[in-house]
Structure formats: structure tokens, C-alpha cells
Amino acid sequence: MSPTVLQRMASGDPAAVRECMDRYGGLVWSLARRLSRTASDAEDAAQEIFLDIWRSAARYDASRGSDKVFIATIARRRLIDRMRKRSGEPPMEPPEALESIAWSDPASLPDTAIDAAHAARALGELRPEQRQVLELGLMHGFSQSEIASRLSMPLGTVKSLMRRGLLRVRELMNIKIEGAAGRADG
Amino acid sequence: MAETGPQKQPDEAMLDLLIKQVTDGLSPEEQRELDVLDNEVASAYARDLEHAAAAISVAGTGEPPPMPAALRARIEAQLQAAAAPSNTVRAIGTAPQRTRTRSTAGWWAAAACLVLAVVGWLRSPPVQGPGVEPTLAQQREALLASPGAQQIQLAATAEPAAAGAKVDVVWDPRSQRGFVRFVGLKPNDPSQHQYQLWIFDGDRDQRYPVDGGVFNVPPNADQVLVPIRAQLPVHAAKAFAVTIEQPGGVVVSGREHVVAIGKVS
């Protein structure tokens, strides 16, 4: 099997840097824009994320998940760290300005992002309020307290919806991955 | 991917912390709270939940818009520069030599050399033609003379490698360039360990100072000058430190072997 772009980047292949930008630039930029207060903040974040990707590329293991989810994991870690540091600052945008999320059709996601396809299917099986809370937290970067205030819900309810929703996604993803592996084996 | 075998179940308090870790991040108090809980269960769940959260993020991103071209060019240049070999070290007084670098150092390095050559030529007495690369000492002097540049003395610690060492830094926040100068720092065996410079940025988490590059001290070098290569923009340098790390350096230092540290006044 030929090495992945991340493996080539880890081994110092200069062409892999450009390919990495081609492949993941949009994803990183999209996540950075959503979870940063300003465009300039998002630019700084994207810069830091790509350095993190470069440093972590050697750790990518295709058997543990798709490269896109690996990249999103690195990006989210950095963005959450940045959000925490700015937690005392005013909200990043007026609540009315929320951009709607265009959830991918699981069938349209490439085989190379199979875990994201499982997640998209799993989300479709959640209760609407669990899905809403996850969308606000994961896609718009609202803290649990901000979600509680936005939805006029007790914080405990938000925590509970988020806990059950994310555990359910995790559970459904594992079942589906196990099932897919079983089919492949059989 | 997640383990699918029987797994010990975390309690609700642990789950709340784990969920908050992958959505909001934890405060230092919450992190300490999580650290004392069952580590094995916590880390297995943390990995799964983080994976699920990232997979949801990818699914919710759809067809992402491209990154702005200027930003992309900047990041690409930064990555190419980061992929270049570690900093070159020259003992003061030796003749400047052209260092062999991979072409991946890219136009950043070329542009920096060009600027340095021009600045050095303009500021120095006419002892050399514009085609001759200024020595690191000349570059340092030119940088020190520029408005806003700071000179910081670092104090050597009790680390044996630092015994009797004198260390100072010249840093220009505007150009994000600098030099660190060592006198009497113990030579290192690059196959065993390397020195690494760190910059504490007032705008960043102090647990994660900015990597300023790894370097070696060759034997028989009384003085050593190293150009600083900050891997991230430094908004407000508050302190500089030098540690001993594994060959190639580390992303986050355990700070077991700090050889010198100094605050910006």
C-alpha cells in the first residue's frame, strides 16, 4: 500500500506539504472559522493547527480512523484550547447570525471518511434535542452554559442531552464499524 | 478506533468531565479532578468521545470552502520552513560558510537572507561587498541596532551542562527574528540530546511556550550564536528558556533539564 499524505509528510517529503494543504485546507479553515471569534483569530488558529498536524503526522494510524477525522481531532483540540483562553471574552457572534449546518449525506461521504459517514448516520438517529445540543456545542463552539442560556434550559439538562447524545453516537459508530468489519471479514 | 470489547463503565461525574473535555475543554481544577479518577477507563472513553466529536465535525462540514489563498501560502511556507533541517550553529569568528539546506527551506529562507544581506550591508562599514553573506555576529549586531529590539540576559541554572555558562538573547518583536548567544555551554552529542530554545508568549498558555528551534553546541566553541526560529508568531515575548531534549526536540518540554532562563524586562 502506498504511504498516505500524512505518512509522507512525517517522512519529510516536501511535495506532501502542498498535498496536505490541498486535501485538508478547506476542512481546517472551515472548523477554524466556526470555532473562532474573528477571521484573524481563525487565521492564527489555522496556522497553529497545521503545525500541530505536521508534528503529529507520524502518529496517524489508518486502522484507528480516517485521515479527515484525525485532522479534525487535532484541529478541535487546538481550537478548544484557544476557546478556553478566550472564555471570558464576549460571544463570538450574535446568536441570530448562526450559519446553518449542511450535514453530509452519509452516502455522499467518501470511503476514506467512513467514520464521518457513520457519525452522520448516527446523528440521524438521535432525538432532535440531543442533535440540537450537539450541533450547537460541536459545530458552533457554544459552551454548555451558553447553550443552556440560548435554549432556556437548565445546565443539567444540557449536560444530560449532550452526554446521552454523544454516547449514543459513539455507540452507534462502534456498532456500525463492527458490523462493517464483520461484513468485510465475512 | 474504539475498542469494542467489554469495558469498565465510567460514572456520571467522570462522563460529564470527559464530555466537557471534548466540547468546551476543562479548567485546571476540572483537569485535576479528572486526573484523580480511574485513568484507564477515562482515557479509553476520552479517546472514543473525542473521535466521535471529530467525526461529527467532519460530517457537519460538508463541502468546505477553500482556505484564503494568502493564508494558504503563509502556512505552506511556514510548513516548508519547519520541515527544513534544524538550526545551523556557527562559532563566532569562524569564516561564514554556505550551509547546505534542502530546497524545502523555500522562499522564506531566501527572502530572510536577502533582507539580512541588505540590512547588514547598509549598517556595516564597507568591509565586504553586497554579494558576501554577513556573519551571524554581524546580523545580530544589525538586529540589535534596529528600533524595538530587546536584549535579554538568561541566568544559567544548576544543570551541569550550564555550569559557568553565559546566555543572552536578542529579539525583535516586529520582525519576529532573534539570536541566542552562548558562552561556555557544554558541547552536546547530537545523537544523544540537543538543546532547545523556548519563547514564553504572554498571549499564549504558559504551559506551551513557542518552540524557538533545536541546536547543537560543537566542541571547542567558546562562543556560539544561533538564529532563533520561532515556529509560531510570538505576540508578546515574556521569557526565554533553554532546555536539553531528545534529538530533534520535543513539542512540549517536560522541563526536566532547564539550562538557562530569563525574563523580558
Summarize pLDDT for B155-213 with one digit per residue, the tens: 999 899 998 899 999 999 888 889 999 999 999 888 788 899 999 988 877 777 888 88
Q: Cβ–Cβ of B15/A163 closer than 8 Å?
A: yes
Pick the closest to residue B116 from B73, B172, B200 (CA basis). Answer: B172
d(CA A26, CA A39): 14
- Is pLDDT above 70 for A46? yes
Identity of the residue in A29, A80, A102 whose CB atom sits nearest the CB atom of B24: A80
Of residues B230 and B155, more confidence is placed in B155
| Chain A positions in Cβ-Cβ contact with residue B64 (cut-off 8 Å) | 26-27, 29-30
**Residue B62, burial from CB neighbour count under 10 angstroms (0-12, 13-18, 19+):** middle
CB B170 within 8 A of CB B151: yes
Smallest CA–CA distance, residue A170 to chain B, in Å, is 6
- What letter does residue B181 receive in the DSSP assignment? E
| Chain A positions in Cβ-Cβ contact with residue B232 (cut-off 8 Å) | 47-48, 51
Mean pLDDT confidence for A103-124: 73
Q: Cβ–Cβ of A174/B53 closer than 8 Å?
A: no
Summarize pLDDT for B88-141 with one digit per residue, the tens: 343 333 333 333 333 333 333 433 433 333 333 333 333 344 445 677 888 888
Specify the range with the lowest mean pLDDT, choosing from A87-91, A100-104, B85-89. B85-89
Average pLDDT value over all residues in chain A: 81
Smallest CA–CA distance, residue A1 to chain B, in Å, is 20
> What are the C-alpha distances in Å from B88 to residues A104, B99, B224, B243?
48, 8, 10, 17
Write the ipTM.
Answer: 0.85
User: Which option is the CATH number for A93-186: 3.30.950.10, 1.10.10.10, 3.30.70.340, 2.60.15.10?
Assistant: 1.10.10.10
% of residues, chain B, pLDDT over 70: 77
Residue B159 has φ and ψ, to the nearest 5°, of -60, 130
Smallest CA–CA distance, residue A156 to chain B, in Å, is 10
Q: Crossing angle of helices B12-23/A67-85, nearest 10°?
A: 90
Summarize pLDDT for B203-228 with one digit per residue, the tens: 877 777 888 888 888 887 778 888 88
In this prediction, residue A121 carries a pLDDT of 87
Q: What is the largest CA-CA distance in chain A?
A: 54
d(CA B264, CA B171): 10
Buried b (16+ CB within 10 A) or exposed e, A35-65: bbbeeebbbbbbbbbbbbbbbbbeebeeeeb
Mean pLDDT confidence for A12-33: 90
For chain A, domain boundaries: 1-92, 93-186
CB A7 within 8 A of CB A60: yes
Total Cβ atoms within 10 A of residue A80 = 21
User: Which option is the CATH number for A1-92: 3.40.640.10, 1.10.1740.10, 2.30.30.100, 3.20.20.140?
Assistant: 1.10.1740.10
CB B56 within 8 A of CB A134: yes
Grid coordinates given for B59 = 460530517
Q: Cβ–Cβ of A166/B231 closer than 8 Å?
A: no
Identity of the residue in A46, A85, A123 whose CB atom sits nearest the CB atom of B75: A46
For chain B, domain boundaries: 12-59, 70-263
Quote the pTM value. Answer: 0.57
